[in-house]
Structure 1
Amino acid sequence: MFYSPYYGFGPGMIFLIPAIILAMYAQMKVKTTFNRYLNIRNMRGYTGAQVARMILDRNGLYDVSVEYTGGFLSDYYDPRSKVVRLSPQVYNGNSIASISVAAHEVGHAIQHGYGYVPLILRNTIAPIASFGSQAVWVLVFLGFLLGIGSLIDIGILFYLAAVIFQIITLPVEFNASSRAIMQLEMNGIITSEEIIYSKKVLNAAALTYVAAMAVSIAQLLRLILLRNRRD
């Protein structure tokens, strides 16, 4: 009997639906928290770009640059180019949210500079994970359509790389946030009262990575159940 992985409730949806709900909640939480603390100016008046440059310099990372990039919450550290790219609200903003996000991205640059193993693993597996998350549906669909179970198995194996990527991402992101808080405190960038707000911003962001991992694991379980049901 033919079972499409795309239609109907099907096996595994009992895992996937709660994970999707968590992901939706996480996205809402990070946006509302970011917007809330985007309106609270940090007491020192630093912008995200200034904080990023300050922390980089104080950690001897003079070869890492800070650049402006478009988009909303599009901030990231590019290890290949050694560039911390900050969105408009973060780069130019002098809010608690702005400097917290900037410090978090610099946390990744510090990880890179010190050879943090989970970050190296994540960067290594990233191309495979990206390919796997795209190829899985083509392989699974063809496997069901043509009745070739081995294609489904290959698709699941490729998708496993994406799941491993999400799992490795958790310690990388939590560690970057811990480094951010430490740098903000150690360098006197924010006051003890503001630390609580920074932690709220970074904890909300961390929830999105937890949700992404939950969705990827739930999707993997669904694919395995679909494969077994086909047999």
Structure 2
Amino acid sequence: MIDVYSAATPNGHKIHIMLEECGFPYRVHYVNIREGDQFKPDFLAISPNNKIPAIVDADGPDGKPISLFESGAILVYLASKAGKFLGKTDREKFTTLQWLMFQMGGVGPMLGQTHHFRVYAPEKIDYAVNRYTNEAKRLYGVIDTQLSKHAYLAGDEYTIADIATFPWLRSSKNQGIDWDDYPNAKRWFDEIAARPAVVRGVQVLASDSKPITDEKSREMLFGATQYKRH
């Protein structure tokens, strides 16, 4: 049994989708990041960076429990455990990993900043909005170009690179994106969104997801509490 400590965010949904795709039995533990659950000692013991998601697999590689944080690392672990979605040959695996790193180092952080400055920042800073919106459009362009040549990001097989990237593109409107400008990416997005495991995965903890409107939530997510040493 795999215990998942998560919330209905793009990074959380990566792992929910992957678990559904792999068919692993799992239990979900809601981490209420609006209330500060991510700073509690029990959670920090498995996720020292105070971010969701994290997992504890009772049946680790050596038959002993293993805990993991960082969604990209968790995806690689689950793909290795399942023996799929990573590629079969070394070439396929490294190609998958480069597109996974593209998501982890570019798509996630940059689209997260785009979303923040366009939607959540307490004051509108035109420079920041324009900078990150333009970067979002650039990243969508990279994805669109790759998908003009291949069915999926890492080639012609569905992999963890697709699973990692898809949830971040679900908020395209808030990122200032017009899908008409990225037809190949839109084809890919619609195909993945229709996968049964994806449909199930994005519903995990969705009922607990609420708009960020109160000051406590803003403080927990964007305020000084984030920067304390825990």
- What TM-score range do you get, normalising by the shorter chain? 0.3 to 0.5
Q: Which has the higher helix share?
A: 1
Larger RCO: 1 or 2 (CA < 8 Å, sep 6+): 1
Which is greater in Rg?
Answer: 1
Q: TM-score, normalised by structure 1?
A: 0.33
